[in-house]
Structure 1
């Protein structure tokens, strides 16, 4: 079974070598490795060239962003399954692909396989690493409400899915993968499997440079998912957004106690809270006449009490 691994990169001289090595040193050898470089201006192309004998296809040219580059890789891929491994990341160990192929062979109807992620945190916050457990298949819709659903490097896509569901929508600059996952959950006939294994290591390099834009795209996509427009899921979305606001506020409180250099993250976090509060207000209006309004009033009272406690504590 041929596996295609696609690395999209640009000006990645500090990390690209470890990414490449994590692929070419896999014990499983039927790997097609494709590197799509966005015409880097640093030493990225030189580093890639050192491994050209181990890389199946190398493309280096200007592009219109991450998702155009990923789509370019999909068009070039000839493997049965496709994995996207970004240039700040690397496969967790040398047996990842071999183990994934064994899992797929044991589940021949598998079309979408995903596993867990080793997280390397921003050193400004703390130095401990952790493993992020992906949601189980039945929990995927709720996991989509707020935050990451899957991290790309932890997924192996059956190549046929890009024919069935289409490519990444390049109209989205930040969340095209999220929009693709929205299409996935709308097709209940697709066989989705969770593999309880750490697949890759992901660097949490920091908050998005434009958090408001990220959340705006995510909420726009949610509003296009029919499932999420029902009364039950609107209430679920409100509940999750409230929890998100509380978590962010508590995180800011922790940062405020740390050294001055770490406080640069606070303004970005506050922007995220503002964006979530706006969406929360929009959803509140949407359920004003619901029969569950008594439940909402109780939860809103609890939320205000929690906020008052938090402010008093500060």
Structure 2
């Protein structure tokens, strides 16, 4: 089973090498690694090119943002399974892809997801937040549940059948895609009960009231676009679920 991993990056020279190494050091032997760059000017291109043919496909050109770049990578992918890993982030250990493939095969699933941790941007040993996705139950999205986006691996056929990321939803594009795949179209889903992704703190934040209200509105649009009807409290349970992520501690990293 060939796996395509896509990294999108723009001016990510500070951390992109960590991301690349975490993918190239995976134990799984059949990985197609694709990097989509938004025409970086900070040395990112030189870093990526220094890996030569170990990176199967490299594109560097202007894009319309993160999700447009992800869509480019998905269209280029030839693997049976597709995963996404942003340039600031990395896999927690070198058997993540091996374990993911084993999970898909064992459960005969269309997609799999795991847990994530958020760490200090410069001190990755300092854990700030633990996103334990937990086991999926039908209609869990109505209760504010969603898996961590970067921990989500899906067969390429799911993208071909149900579509790519929408570019009109800003930071809610990942939520809408998983809502569409999982809740609306009921892809067969498997849970990897382990931390798969390490994310550096940063990026788009929903910490302010203004940002939370904007995210709330985007979430509502995601349901409307899919012809789905949420509960009146669905959009408020989603951010409330995050509170426990700041107090729960993750399991130790496997040796």
Query: What band does the TM-score fall into relative to the shorter chain?
Result: 0.7 to 0.9
What corresponds to 1:133 in structure 2? 132
Instruction: Check 1:152–1:15 CA distance in 2 against 1; reply closer, same or farther (3 A cut).
Output: same
What corresponds to 2:167 in structure 1? 170
Task: Kindly state the Cα deviation for residue 57 of structure 1 after the two structures are TM-superposed.
Answer: 0.3
* Aligned pairs for 1:301-312 within 5 A: none
Question: Structure 1 regions of 5+ residues with no counterpart?
Answer: 252-314
The 3-state SS of whatever aligns with 2:53 is coil
Looking at secondary structure, tell me which structure has more helix per residue.
Answer: 1
Task: Kindly state the Cα deviation for residue 174 of structure 1 after the two structures are TM-superposed.
Answer: 2.2
Matched, 1:120 2:116: no
Task: Kindly state the Cα deviation for residue 219 of structure 1 after the two structures are TM-superposed.
Answer: 2.6
Residue by residue over 1:199-219, the C-alpha shift from the partner in whole angstroms, topping out at 9 and shown as x without a partner, is: 111122165387254333123
Task: Kindly state the Cα deviation for residue 103 of structure 1 after the two structures are TM-superposed.
Answer: 1.6
Task: Kindly state the Cα deviation for residue 67 of structure 1 after the two structures are TM-superposed.
Answer: 1.1
* Aligned pairs for 1:1-314 within 5 A: 1-107=1-107, 109-121=108-120, 127-138=126-137, 140-144=140-144, 149-184=146-181, 185-188=183-186, 190-205=187-202, 208=205, 211=211, 212-224=213-225, 226-229=227-230, 233-234=231-232, 236-237=233-234, 240=237, 244=240
Question: Structure 2 regions of 5+ residues with no counterpart?
Answer: 247-255
The alignment's C-alpha RMSD in Å is 2.7
The 3-state SS of whatever aligns with 1:41 is coil
Looking at secondary structure, tell me which structure has more strand per residue.
Answer: 2
Task: Kindly state the Cα deviation for residue 128 of structure 1 after the two structures are TM-superposed.
Answer: 3.5
> 2:76, 2:28 → 1: CA distance?
21
TM-score (norm 1): 0.68
Count of aligned positions: 236
- Mapped contact 1:135–1:143 kept (Cα < 8 A): no
> 2:44, 2:203 → 1: CA distance?
21
Residue by residue over 1:29-86, the C-alpha shift from the partner in whole angstroms, topping out at 9 and shown as x without a partner, is: 2000000000001111111111122100000000111111111111110101000000
Instruction: Check 1:219–1:52 CA distance in 2 against 1; reply closer, same or farther (3 A cut).
Output: same
Larger radius of gyration: 1
> 1:240, 1:160 → 2: CA distance?
31
- Mapped contact 2:35–2:59 kept (Cα < 8 A): yes
The 3-state SS of whatever aligns with 2:54 is coil
- Mapped contact 2:80–2:156 kept (Cα < 8 A): yes
- Mapped contact 2:144–2:235 kept (Cα < 8 A): no
Higher RCO, Cα 8 Å, sep 6+: 2
- Mapped contact 2:11–2:43 kept (Cα < 8 A): yes
Instruction: Check 1:142–1:93 CA distance in 2 against 1; reply closer, same or farther (3 A cut).
Output: same
TM-score (norm 2): 0.83
The 3-state SS of whatever aligns with 2:168 is coil
Instruction: Check 1:238–1:23 CA distance in 2 against 1; reply closer, same or farther (3 A cut).
Output: closer
